[in-house]
Structures are given as C-alpha cells and as structure tokens.
Chains A and B, each alone.
Chain A
Amino acid sequence: MDEKRISDIAVYTIKLIDQTISPEEFEELNSIISSNAQAARYYNQLMLAVSDFQESAKEIILEETGAETVLNEEFWQLLSVDEKTAPAVEIEKPVPERVPVKMLKIERQPKIVRKSPLYTAVLSIAAMLLMVLIVQLKPVLPTVASLTDSINAEWSDVKNTPMNGDVLRQGRWNLTKGLAEITFDDGAVVVIEAPAVFDLESPKSMYLDSGKINAFVSRYAIGFTVNTPSASIVDLGTEFGVDVQFDGTCDMQMFSGKANLVIGQEGQEKTSQLVNVKEARNVDGRTGHVRNIAMQKKRFVRRIDSVTGLIWKGQDLSLVDMVGGGNGFGTGKQNQLIDMFDGVLSGPGHNQFYSGYSERKGPYGITPVAHPFIDCVFVPDAERNRQVSTLGHAFLECPDTLGSFQENIFVGPESPEMGIRKHLLYLNNVQWGAHGRPALSVHTNAGITFDLSMIRRANPDMKITAFKSLYGISDNATWGNSRKTVADMWVLVDGEIRDKAIGHHPQSKPKTINVELKDEDHFLTLVTTDSDGVTNEDWCLFANPVLVTE
C-alpha cells in the first residue's frame, strides 16, 4: 500500500471512531478494505492501537506532557512541510457539522458484565415476553422433514418437542441432548448429535450453526446441501459428517461417495472443491482457509435405532460380521455358517454330514472355531456339555436339552447349508439377516463364544463397554398349532449368566439385550436351548448383535 492509501485509511478510521465519517467516506473505506487484505490488516491494527491508547492514555500521556500546554506555530510549520507531499488539504472554510451517526463512544463498556442480578432477571423476563410475542406472531411455516428416530432427545423448546414420526417445519431447532434422525422430504437422512443448533431450510437443505451431523444421501436425494457459517457441502450421493464449532470452523469428512465443498460467505466470491471418499477437510472459521485433515472414524454418529439402542459411529463391532469371517467392521460375508462339528466357517453349499430335517447329535464338548475372535461353538446340555470356552469356563446353570441341534449357526437371510429347510428370519414383521439388518441365527441347541480378549488385542484403542442385540424367535416359526415353538436364550460372560429369555416363542416381544462388559471380561457366549425338548423351528436369532465400543 502506498502512503496516500495508508493516510486515507487512517483518516477514515479516526473519523469512524469519532463517528464523524460521511457515508461517502465510509463507502470509500469499505471499498479499500474489501479489495485489499493489507488494508484490512492496517485498519485492524489502527483500531487496536486506538483502543489500547484510550485504555492507557492517562497513564502514558500525563507522565510525559508536563507543562507543555500550548500548541506552537513551529509545529504547524513542520506539519505544513510534511503536508507538501500529502494530498491537497481542503480550502480553509467553516466546516459544517456532520450529521453524527448515532453511535456511542467507544469507551463504553459492553453491558453484560455490569448486569446486576435484578437487571439479569428483568432482561430475562423481557426476553421471555418477547419470545411469547414472537411465538404468537410466528407464521405457520412449511414442513420440510420428519423426525424419524431419536434417542434420549431433548430440545430447547420444551413445549414444541417433536416425537418420533412428527413432521418438522422450516425454521430453527436446538437439540440440547441426545440424538435425532431427521429425514428430509427429498430423502436425505441426517443424524444430529446434541448439542446442535440448526435451521431446516427446505426439503433439500439445512443450515448447521453449530454441532455435529451425519448426512446419508441416497442417489434420489443428490444435491442435498448442508450450509454452515464457513462453507457449504453439496452432496453428490454420499454419506458425510459435518462438525461446526462455535467460531464457525467447519470440519467435514466423507464416509462414502463425494461432495462439493463450497467456501465463501454470502455475497462473496465462492470457491469450491471436490471432496472424495475417505477425505476430510477443515475450513477455518476466520480465514476461510481450507486444509486437509485426517479422517476420524469415531467422530460422527452415523446411524441410530431406538428399537435396538443402536448408536453407530462406525466402530461398533458386529458379531454377525465376525461369523461371516470378518473383523467386525464389515469385512465379513453374508450367507456364512460355522460348522458345529469342525468349527470351520464356510459358505453356500456346505453339507458336511447333514441329510436334512433331523437332529444332529453332538458334538459332545466344545469345537474351537477357525476365527481369531470366535473361541468355540458347542451344543449345550446339562448332562453332556456345560463347557463354553476353550479355557474351561462352564455354564453351570445349563438346562437339560436334547443334546442335539438342527442348524449350524449362520448369518444371512437363510441358512446356506444344503439340505436344510429354508426359512427367512423375521421379528415383528421386519426381516432380519438382509437389507442392512444383520442377524445371527442360533437355532437351538447351539452356543457360540466370542473371545473379547482377542478382540481387544486386535483393537487396542477401543474400550468394549457392552453387548447389545435384539433377540427373538422368527415370526414365521410355528406357534399356536399343534406344535408350539418355544426356546430359551442365554447370554453368558465367562460362563456367568448376564441375561436370558426363558420360554420365548415367536409371538413374544423381541427382547432387547444390553449386557455391560468390563475390561476383565474374557468371553461372551450366546446360547439357545430347546426349553421344551423339541428343536423344530426354534429359529432363534440375534438381531444386529454388536459389541459397543468407546
């Protein structure tokens, strides 16, 4: 910047502080600052210097000026010399009084810390009255989305707390506690973590003022936009998380697909960049600067399910996935089983000994499984086998059973085993084992033990806090005819019963299992027993069984 420009900014800034700046001069100042970052910096420096000087003026000036009280002519002579190189000075004439801009002196202190309790109370009451007035005068806004699920959700507006299934209107929402899943009318599903303040803008857009959200956007809802104070994310058929801090800084990360990240405030020139899967960006709330950051898998709640209590941040370990041969994070396969006799995981077509539709006796004792996280499988029976782990943990309360089983433990919509009677799995008319609803089928009499120690060892940064699952007997199993299906279910930790469902039948309400797990717990065992000496159609299933992690 040249000296003339610096001088102009300084004059305008001093006039601005004095509240004597004309609209034209302010426009000129605005124009200089908007086109020149250096000018903006100089303006800030000057404002700060004046503020500092005002604060310390007495102390600094009075110790310096002493008796020198008259402005002398020599000074003006010197200034006149200086002014020769400066822009022309206006012809001396009476200066009309500027119409002052209605501002108060900069010395004034902000109101907030002076508030007496009474003032605070008065202010609060006034604010409440205003709120009442605003509510009364508020027009009926269009609905743009629905609250499709929530877990322990609390909203700032207690009189207008939405329930699951409620439609949501355009406008501002403040989720103070819990989690909410909002499905926009155009199809995007957004999980919001409290505390979050956001505006529902339209069926295809929202403004996230602060807080964390995860947006799942199907290909039918492409174009869904999350606006934030510092950036906008325009979805291109993806899943992404957005975290807006109170200073407007925005972090976003792509879980799948891609999105356009648009940077720039309203009325400003905008830039955009494509963010691809497994990439993350930080947009500085102050400068708008964008930088790449590392993905944090546990940062966002991506799915919630109030029925199962599922809060999925990407890290919970799926037991179904393990039985499918995976590591618990989705690397396993569907339609897999564990052979009760040899512990081998195998896929469709498996038919080792079975000729179909009959009880299979034994094995009498545990069968170690060829998977690092699965310790063993077994047929439970009070007489023949109470052992539930390779370290000898025993299920002492194990009931007397037939000591035989029909189906190997499997994952998927139906058993992949040849010769087996095919059946799908339903709980409350919802199909499990398919369509993103994982299920572990444990037809009586069977047990499976997961090695928590091995799982922890493979995931040292995680703390396993609980085992969660929904349990029931498939709706389509026989009930109410001549032959009744009934079974017992047991959840054991190191052989100790932690949960159970006795005499469960297909019409029983599915049981929600939530077993707390401690660091010292070694084995988690799931067992089903025949209850009535019959295993036919004991189609027991664990729906979405997961190890909850922190």
Chain B
Amino acid sequence: MNMNHEKPEYKLYIRLLSANQRRIYGFIYAMVPNHSVAEDIMQETTLLMWEHFSKFQEGTNFSAWGISIARNMIRQYFRKKGRKGLVFDSQALENLIGQSDIFESEDDKIDALRHCFKKLRGNEKKLLEMRYIQGDSVRKIAENVNRTTSHLYRVIAKIHNLLLKCIKKQLIS
C-alpha cells in the first residue's frame, strides 16, 4: 500500500501507533522473547495495520486491534519460519496467546504502580532504582551487595511479584 504521508488518516495512524506501539510490541515480545524476531513481526504488523486502517473504528481500543493482528502475524511467522533458538513451543505459545487479553486492557496501571511502589521497603525501592534507572545488571548489583546473582534474581522476582499482586488489588478496588 502506498503510504501517503500527507493523508490525514496517516497522521492519525501515526498518532495512535505512537501512543500504543509499546503495548503492542510488549505483547509481541512476550510471545516471542527475541528482539530481532519481535521487531520483524512488529514491522509486518504495523504495515498490515496501516493497510487495514480504514477498518479501524476511531474511538475503539487501538492497541487491542493491533494486538489482534499481531497474534496472527506471530502464528504466521512460526508457520513460515519454523521454530529456532529460544522460542516457545506451539502449545506454550497458544497458552500465552490465549491469556493475552491482559495486554488489551485499558486500565490505567501507572497510578496503581505508583501507589504500590510507595508500599515497598526502602531497599526494595533502591534495588529497582539500580535496575531500572541506573541500568545496572543483576550481576553488578549482586557484586555490590555481596550476594549471588541467583539470590538477587529471586529477590527481584519477589519484588515484582509483590508489585503485581498490589496492582491487581489496586485495580480491583
């Protein structure tokens, strides 16, 4: 399809895509935890989304629409390319796809996340800061605090699990 960059719908498309691409890509990456493959699929998905953008109803959930297309692109990809490297097998992938409605949610999780982050202990917050703000690897943090990486992974996993439980509770309430 010819991408006429002057067309108003192209601008609308780009605006919607910019606002939602992270969610769509996050979905693809969760299903295909390989950035190279995920990027290929994302590219195919966004092209197909543009081709069929006329079918998208403005005001509806754009990321859900994109994810619905991405699902098929993921299946297509594996059907054509087969499974190589660290990729989920078909049963695991179908289970993941079957539970992927989570990615379509329009809940505002950021406020919930902020609320839950406040409830963490100081050192837990500090760990997340080192990881997400300073960009330290788990191994580096482990060396700094004189712990094993596997131990630290369990700690970080535990913190994420606490956050997740809190967010769920927060969203329900």
* Residues on A facing B (Cβ under 8 Å): 6-7, 10-11, 13-18, 20-21, 23, 26, 30-31, 33-37, 39-41, 43-62, 64-65, 68-72, 74-76, 78-79, 82-83, 86, 89-90, 92-93, 95, 97, 101-106, 108-113, 117, 120, 209-210, 229, 246-248, 265-269, 285-288
Contact = CB atoms under 8 A, between A and B. Distances in A.
Contacts of A104: 35-36
Contact of B167 (A40, A41, A49, A57): A49
Scoring B18, B95, B103 by chain A CB atoms within 10 A of each residue's CB, the highest score goes to: B95
Interface string B32-59: 0111100100110011100010000000
Scoring A58, A79, A117 by chain B CB atoms within 10 A of each residue's CB, the highest score goes to: A79
B81 interface: no
B158 interface: yes
A518 to B, nearest CB: 29
A47 B21 contact: no
Interface residues of B, number: 89
Contact of B160 (A10, A35, A44, A56): A10
A48 B34 contact: no
B102 interface: yes
A61 B95 CA distance: 33
A6 B161 contact: yes
A103 B87 CA distance: 12
Given A14-B160, A37-B99, 12 more contacts: A15-B153, A21-B86, A30-B92, A40-B96, A79-B155, A89-B148, A101-B34, A106-B35, A265-B75, A266-B90, A267-B91, A286-B101
- Interface of chain B: mostly helix, strand, loop or mixed: helix
B91 A92 contact: no
26 contacts: A7-B161, A10-B158, A10-B161, A13-B157, A14-B156, A33-B96, A34-B88, A34-B92, A37-B95, A43-B30, A53-B132, A54-B132, A65-B129, A68-B125, A71-B123, A74-B123, A83-B154, A89-B151, A90-B151, A101-B85, A103-B36, A106-B29, A108-B39, A246-B48, A248-B71, A267-B90
Contacts of B43: 110-112
Contacts of A287: 97-98
A287 B142 CA distance: 40
Contacts of A26: 86
Interface of B: 3, 5, 14, 17-18, 21-26, 29-30, 33-36, 39, 42-43, 46-48, 52, 68-69, 71-72, 75-76, 79, 85-86, 88-103, 109-110, 113-114, 117-118, 121-129, 132-133, 137-139, 142, 144-145, 147-151, 153-158, 160-161, 163-164, 167-168
B21 A247 contact: no
A535 B145 CA distance: 109
Given A71-B126, A104-B36, A113 B21 contact: yes
A229 B117 CA distance: 41
A286 B30 contact: no
Nearest to A26: B86
Nearest to A75: B123
Nearest to B142: A95
B36 A286 contact: no
B76 A286 contact: no
Contacts of A58: 133
A246 to B, nearest CB: 5
A79 B147 CA distance: 12
Contacts of A53: 113, 128, 132, 163
Contacts of A108: 35, 39
Contacts, number: 247
Nearest to A124: B3
Contacts of B48: 246
Contact of B68 (A62, A71, A247): A247
A191 B33 CA distance: 39
A134 to B, nearest CB: 13
Contacts of B128: 53, 57, 61
Nearest to A50: B160
A113 B72 contact: no
A286 B68 contact: yes
Nearest to B17: A113
Contacts of B95: 33-34, 36-37, 39-40
Scoring B102, B128, B139, B168 by chain A CB atoms within 10 A of each residue's CB, the highest score goes to: B102
B125 A65 contact: yes
Nearest to A80: B151
Contacts of A209: 76
A93 B154 CA distance: 16
Contact of B163 (A31, A49, A285): A49
A103 B85 CA distance: 11
Contacts of B35: 103-106, 108
Contact of A64 (B3, B91, B118, B167): B118
Contacts of B24: 110
B68 to A, nearest CB: 4
B145 to A, nearest CB: 5
Contacts of B3: 120
A192 B21 CA distance: 33
B171 to A, nearest CB: 11
A16 B160 contact: no
A209 B155 CA distance: 45
Contact of B153 (A14, A43, A82): A14
Contacts of B85: 101
B99 A61 contact: no
Contact of B133 (A7, A43, A61, A266): A61
B80 to A, nearest CB: 10
Scoring B86, B133, B139, B163 by chain A CB atoms within 10 A of each residue's CB, the highest score goes to: B86
Contacts of A79: 155
